[in-house]
């Protein structure tokens, strides 16, 4: 039963492929290319005329120096230092995540420490190891959660590529076409086909701006998702209706202050919007007790209870629910928060990954453009970039391997 979700997703894929082939057989023109039944590509030249060109015209109203400063500056910070996004949606009191480059180098050091000192996977995480895992329905995420992921990643990739196209259009660079592709619903992507010859003729600041614009858009989307959740959390009633997390006690519960149907609003003063934030907070608690604040949905009263964390264990029950023992509490999350959480998380991930200075990512193109002004020999520059990319992708590969063999993907 573990792989039932994955089987269902693959079955749905081949149903769609079958429908496309049927429509073609019936003489219906479908602008989709299918390769070996597992890869689909949609290319649309009208996308440039109807959407990208008007966006480029709109950007021409913004001074060029401001566009370059914002996009390139934010990209450089995200590549080498930190992705400046508030982490409050994860109930982490910090402003931003370290860059992907920093995280992967730190992971390499921590994996070596874990092997030498025989640390458990959890101990490695406690010391700062950052797990990575592919989002596979029915394996690393539930089928229910994967639905949110499809919507969120579709929004993130589409707007990421539109940003590349709009900035290119703003500077008069010809765009040949645009589109999207997918592999068995397990990998997604989008593209804007920019005229590379025209791009190479542009000044270095403009080229860097084009490469930076997608990450800029992903960061903006993450801010929007965090802001929407923040607005909803201003009211306990909104929290109950949109994001509500409900405490459901077992029959043997001895806690009398909190009752079935109460809405968790905070733990130790940190706002709780769903199972994800609860996991984050409870996983980082060092004290023997926590203070749970809850809303009585009947009379609107706010109650607080100090609960012991002794022998605390957490178990995901599939979908978006969590069983917390020994308190005997099931926390069930709502659709609005789930969607906002994944829009936020996946756009943060896209920003982290695309700022990574390796081919074929935006970060690799960005770094190559900078090196072009230093290393004039294109063959030598290509060898430098390919060698660097192999090393950097190996760091990600090692992190994925360690995450999967140790079972840390269950924490993601």
Residue 328: CA count within 13 A, CB half-sphere: 11
pLDDT at 1: 45
Is the domain of 213 the same as that of 223?
yes
Q: Is 313 helix (H, G, I), strand (E, B) or coil?
A: strand
CB 93 within 8 A of CB 71: no
Q: Is 194 helix (H, G, I), strand (E, B) or coil?
A: strand
Q: Is 13 helix (H, G, I), strand (E, B) or coil?
A: helix
CB 71 within 8 A of CB 211: no
Residues 6+ apart with CB under 8 A from 283: 314, 411
Is the domain of 86 the same as that of 193?
yes
CA distance 141 to 6: 10
CA distance 140 to 146: 10
CB 72 within 8 A of CB 209: yes
CB 152 within 8 A of CB 159: no
Is the domain of 81 the same as that of 215?
yes
CATH number of the domain within which 287 lies: 2.30.42
DSSP state string for 160-216: HHHHHHHHHHHTT--EEEEEEEEETTTEEEEEEEE-HHHHHHS-HHHHHHHHHHHHH
DSSP state string for 103-164: HHHHHHHHHHHHHHHT--HHHHHHTT--------BTTTB-HHHHHHHHHHHHHHHHHHHHHH
CA distance 319 to 333: 9
Range of the domain at 101: 44-234+339-410
3-state SS of 254-297? CCCCCCCCCEEEEECCEECCCHHHHHHHHHCCCCCEEEEEEECC
pTM of the predicted protein model: 0.78
CB 5 within 8 A of CB 146: yes
Last residue of one domain, picked from the residues 27, 42, 57: 42
Is the domain of 293 the same as that of 405?
no
CA distance 52 to 398: 38
Residues 6+ apart with CB under 8 A from 18: none
> What CA–CA distances, in Å, run from 326 to 121, 249, 307?
23, 11, 10
Backbone torsions φ then ψ of 226, nearest 5 degrees:
-65, -40
Tell me whether the omega of the peptide bond preceding residue 326 falls within 30 degrees of 0, making it cis: yes
Is the domain of 85 the same as that of 18?
no
Residues 6+ apart with CB under 8 A from 382: none
Is the domain of 139 the same as that of 203?
yes
Is the domain of 227 the same as that of 130?
yes
Q: Which of 93, 127, 96, 122 is nearest to 110 (CA)?
A: 127
Is the domain of 319 the same as that of 283?
yes
Backbone torsions φ then ψ of 171, nearest 5 degrees:
-100, 15
β-strand 39-44 against 32-35: which pairing, if any? Answer: antiparallel
Is the domain of 48 the same as that of 172?
yes
Last residue of one domain, picked from the residues 278, 299, 333: 333
Last residue of one domain, picked from the residues 333, 365, 397: 333
Domain total in the chain: 3
Q: Helical H runs in 171-188?
A: none
pLDDT at 67: 95
CB atoms within 10 A of CB 216: 22
Is the domain of 145 the same as that of 212?
yes
Label residue 368 left, alpha or beta by phi (over 0 means left) and psi (-120 to 50 means alpha): alpha
Is the domain of 275 the same as that of 401?
no
pLDDT tens by residue, the chain, 412 residues: 445 656 777 788 888 888 888 888 888 877 778 887 878 877 766 666 778 888 899 999 999 999 999 999 999 999 999 998 887 776 666 788 899 999 999 999 999 999 999 888 888 887 888 888 777 766 666 676 777 888 888 889 889 988 999 999 999 998 887 777 777 766 666 778 888 889 989 999 999 999 999 999 999 999 998 888 777 766 655 555 555 566 665 544 555 566 666 777 788 888 776 666 677 777 777 777 888 887 777 777 888 888 777 766 666 554 455 666 666 676 666 677 778 888 998 999 999 999 999 988 999 999 999 999 888 888 999 999 999 999 999 999 999 999 888 877 766 5
Is the domain of 97 the same as that of 157?
yes
CA distance 409 to 404: 6
């Amino acid at each position: 039963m573990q792989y039932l979700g994955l089987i269902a997703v693959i079955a749905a894929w081949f149903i769609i492929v079958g429908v496309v082939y049927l429509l073609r057989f019936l003489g219906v023109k479908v602008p989709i290319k299918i390769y070996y039944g597992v890869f689909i590509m949609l290319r649309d030249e009208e996308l440039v005329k109807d959407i990208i060109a008007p966006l480029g015209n709109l950007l021409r109203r913004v001074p060029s120096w401001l566009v370059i400063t914002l996009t390139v500056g934010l990209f450089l910070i995200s590549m080498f230092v930190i992705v400046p996004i508030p982490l409050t949606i994860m109930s982490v009191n910090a402003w931003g995540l370290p860059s992907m480059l920093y995280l992967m180098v730190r992971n390499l050091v921590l994996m070596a420490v874990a092997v030498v000192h025989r640390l458990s996977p959890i101990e490695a995480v406690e010391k700062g190891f950052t797990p990575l895992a592919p989002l596979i329905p029915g394996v690393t995420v539930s089928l229910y959660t994967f639905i949110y992921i499809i919507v969120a990643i579709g929004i993130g990739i589409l707007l990421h590529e539109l940003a590349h196209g709009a900035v290119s259009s703003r500077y008069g660079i010809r765009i040949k076409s645009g589109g999207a592709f997918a592999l068995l619903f397990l990998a997604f992507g989008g593209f804007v086909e920019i005229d590379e010859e025209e791009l190479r003729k542009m000044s270095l600041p403009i080229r860097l701006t084009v490469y930076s614009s997608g990450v800029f858009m992903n960061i903006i989307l993450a801010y929007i998702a965090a802001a929407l959740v923040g607005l909803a959390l201003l009211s306990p009633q909104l929290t109950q209706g949109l994001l509500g997390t409900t405490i459901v006690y077992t029959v043997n519960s001895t806690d009398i202050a909190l009752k079935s149907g109460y809405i968790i609003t905070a733990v130790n003063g940190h706002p709780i919007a769903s199972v994800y934030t609860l996991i984050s907070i409870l996983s980082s608690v060092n004290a023997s007790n926590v203070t749970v604040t809850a809303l009585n949905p009947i009379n609107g009263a706010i109650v607080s209870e100090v609960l012991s964390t002794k022998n605390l264990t957490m178990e995901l029950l599939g979908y978006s629910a969590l069983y917390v023992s020994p308190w005997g509490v099931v926390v069930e999350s709502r659709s609005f928060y789930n969607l906002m959480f994944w829009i936020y998380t996946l756009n943060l991930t896209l920003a982290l990954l695309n700022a990574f200075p390796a081919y074929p990512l935006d970060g690799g193109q960005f770094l190559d453009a900078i090196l072009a002004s230093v290393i004039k020999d294109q063959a030598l520059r290509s060898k430098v970039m390919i060698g660097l990319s192999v090393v950097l992708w190996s760091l990600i590969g090692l992190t994925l391997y360690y995450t999967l063999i140790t079972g840390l993907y269950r924490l993601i």
